[in-house]
Amino acid sequence: MAATVADILSEGAGRLAAVTETPRLDAEMLLAHAMGLSRASLLARLREPADTSGFEVLLARRLNYEPLAYIFGEWEFFGLPMYVVPPLLTPRPETEHLVECALDFLFGQSSPCVVVDVCCGTGCVGVAIARNAPGHRLYAVDLRRDAVETTRRNAARHGVFLEMVQGDLVSAFSPQVDIIVANPPYVSEDEWRELSPVITRHEDPGALLAGKDGLDCIRRLVPDAARCLRPGGLFALEIGDTQSAVVADLLAAHGFYAVECRRDLAGIQRVISGLRS
């Protein structure tokens, strides 16, 4: 008797338990993808025979700790599907707070703003801002050419335009910027050793690692952001679990005021922002 969808999911979840905290969900997503179905359609067919011709290949990739976003080629961010190519970082839910911070600022402006998304990766932050706050001038910056190209693809996918810059942080910009948002590298060397193999085996270390205390990139970025922003302009960046106090002091030392933090769903102070004096 052929194995049913329920049988395959149960067996797949058992195998995935060693590599993910959500083995059943991962199994459902992988099997749905292999069968060309939505997850809801798959779950409506639990008693039916399963076509597993492509499932084992996908399962093997996940058992090697490969991120689901790389397996599927896309991932949702701020309600938008984004193309993802290795080794660019998978868009993460906590980074959505960076978008919220920018949108809160933009919705209070009476004229078009210049917005720069630094360390753009897949472009998820800049594209989400452009989709939800049209009429502003958006730039996206990254050192990696594949990041620039993937951002361009995601912008086209969602019908927005971002001017692409391949370069180092905001060195290419003059003091006429209204908003800088950044998800810079902020993982310390000690933290790197504790991260999941999903990250350390597959994602770009250059987009994550930032020296002994995780602040090497942020220490370069803060004064450069202060140089580029107009008075009253917003600087918002994602930070590590224990970095809020140090980064707040760094912002204050470079002329930022109204410094505040936003907590992610885990209660961690994840996005810090300030206004240029």
Sign of CA dihedral 192, 197, 202, 203: negative
Residue 267 lies inside a defined structural domain of this protein: yes
Q: How far apart are CA 119 and CA 168, in angstroms?
A: 8
Residue 20 lies in a domain: yes
- Please report, for residues 7, 117, 158, 203, 276, the alpha-carbon distance to residue 177 in angstroms, rounded to integers and kept in the order given: 56, 11, 24, 30, 11
- Tell whether 55 and 138 lie within a shared domain: no
pLDDT at 50: 85
pLDDT in the model for residue 1: 61
Instruction: Say yes or no: 43 and 85 in one domain.
Output: no
| End-of-domain residue from the set 64, 93, 110 | 64
Q: What CA–CA distances, in Å, run from 199 to 169, 188, 195, 275? A: 23, 14, 7, 33
Q: Is residue 199 part of a domain?
A: yes
Same domain, 162 and 82: yes
Q: Cα separation of 40 and 26, whole Å?
A: 14
Q: Does residue 255 share a domain with residue 222? A: yes
Q: How far is CA 188 from the centre of its chain?
A: 18
* Burial of 78 from C-beta contacts in 10 A (0-12 / 13-18 / 19+): buried
Dist CA 44 CA 35 (whole Å):
13
Return d(Cα 255, Cα 252) in angstroms, integer: 5
Specify the pLDDT at position 239.
97
- Is residue 117 in some structural domain? yes
Considering the domain architecture, whether residues 55 and 136 belong to the same structural domain is answered as: no
Give the range of the structural domain holding residue 24, as residue numbers without chain letter.
Answer: 5-64
Q: Residue 218 is part of a domain; what is its CATH number? A: 3.40.50.150
In a domain, 69, yes or no: no
Residues 135, 44 within the same domain? no
3-class DSSP assignment, residue 238: strand
Task: Judge contact between 116 and 141, C-beta under 8 A.
Answer: yes
C-alpha span between 240 and 145 (Å, rounded): 26
Same-domain pairing of 259 and 138:
yes
Q: What is the DSSP letter of 209?
A: B
Q: How many CA atoms lie within 13 A of 180 on its CB side?
A: 34
Q: Does 71 fall in a domain? A: no
In whole angstroms, give the CA distance from residue 151 to residue 74.
12
Q: Are residues 45 and 106 in the same domain?
A: no
Q: Which residue has the tokens 């250059």?
A: 206
- The CA-CA-CA angle for residues 134, 140, 149, to 5°, reads 110
What domain count does the chain have?
2
**Is 70 inside any structural domain?**
no
- Report the first-to-last Cα separation within the chain, whole angstroms: 72
| CATH number assigned to the domain comprising residue 59 | 1.10.8
Helix-strand-coil split of the chain, %, nearest 5: 40, 20, 35
* pLDDT tens digits in sequence order for the chain, 277 residues long: 678 999 999 999 999 999 999 999 999 999 999 999 999 999 999 999 887 889 999 999 999 999 999 999 999 999 999 999 999 999 999 999 999 999 999 998 989 999 999 999 999 999 999 999 999 999 999 999 999 999 999 999 999 999 999 999 998 998 889 999 999 999 999 999 889 999 999 999 999 999 999 999 999 999 999 999 999 999 999 999 999 999 999 999 999 999 999 999 899 999 999 999 9
Are both 174 and 87 inside the same structural domain?
yes
72 inside domain? no
Q: Are residues 103 and 144 in the same domain?
A: yes
